[in-house]
Structure formats: C-alpha cells, structure tokens
Amino acid sequence: MSEAIIREVAAAWGRADLPTLMKFIADDCVYSASVGSEPGETFVGREAVRAGFAKLLAHDSDGVADMHFSSSECYGIDSFD
C-alpha cells in the first residue's frame, strides 16, 4: 500500500466521502468500529462496512464527535501485502 493511498483514504475520511472510501474496501472486509455498543460494532462484508462507515460519519455530523483524520506523517510504510 502506498503512502498516496493512505493520504487519499485519510482525506476521504476528512471529507466524509463515502464513495471514495468504498473504493478501497474488499468484498470480505471486516470493520471493527470504535463506536457503538461496547466494545464497538463489527461490520462484515462490503455492504455492512458501507453501512458502518455511514453510521460513523453520521455520528460525526451531529456535532458529538470531532473526527479528524490526518496523514501528514506516514512512518515505516513499505507494503501491507
């Protein structure tokens, strides 16, 4: 995974850009959210992950969470393959 991809994903989170985020999600993705029922919700599969991302982004839009994603510093990233 390149630094450019990490920066694109971080920027998409910052814009609440769900379509761009979903470009990077595999059909068999598992997303463990840090919000939701304790200790957080887990979403399995592409469509469930889309719903989980939308839920997280909606949670932020209500002014409760102040999400900020930054990729200004990327350390030791050669490959995640």
Residue 23 resides in a domain? yes
Q: Which domain holds residue 34?
A: 3-61
* Cβ-based neighbour number of residue 40 at 10 Å: 12
* Cβ-based neighbour number of residue 8 at 10 Å: 17
Q: What is the pLDDT of residue 79?
A: 47
Distance set, CA 8 to CA 23, 48, 63, 64, 72 (Å): 11, 22, 24, 25, 11
pTM: predicted TM-score of the whole model, two decimal places: 0.69
* pLDDT digits 0-9 by tens, 23-68: 999 999 999 887 666 677 899 999 999 999 998 888 755 554 455 5
Residue 8 resides in a domain? yes
CA atoms within 13 A of residue 70's CA, in its CB half-sphere = 4
CA atoms within 13 A of residue 44's CA, in its CB half-sphere = 0
Residue 18 resides in a domain? yes
CATH number for 21: 3.10.450.50
Structurally, the chain folds into a number of domains equal to 1
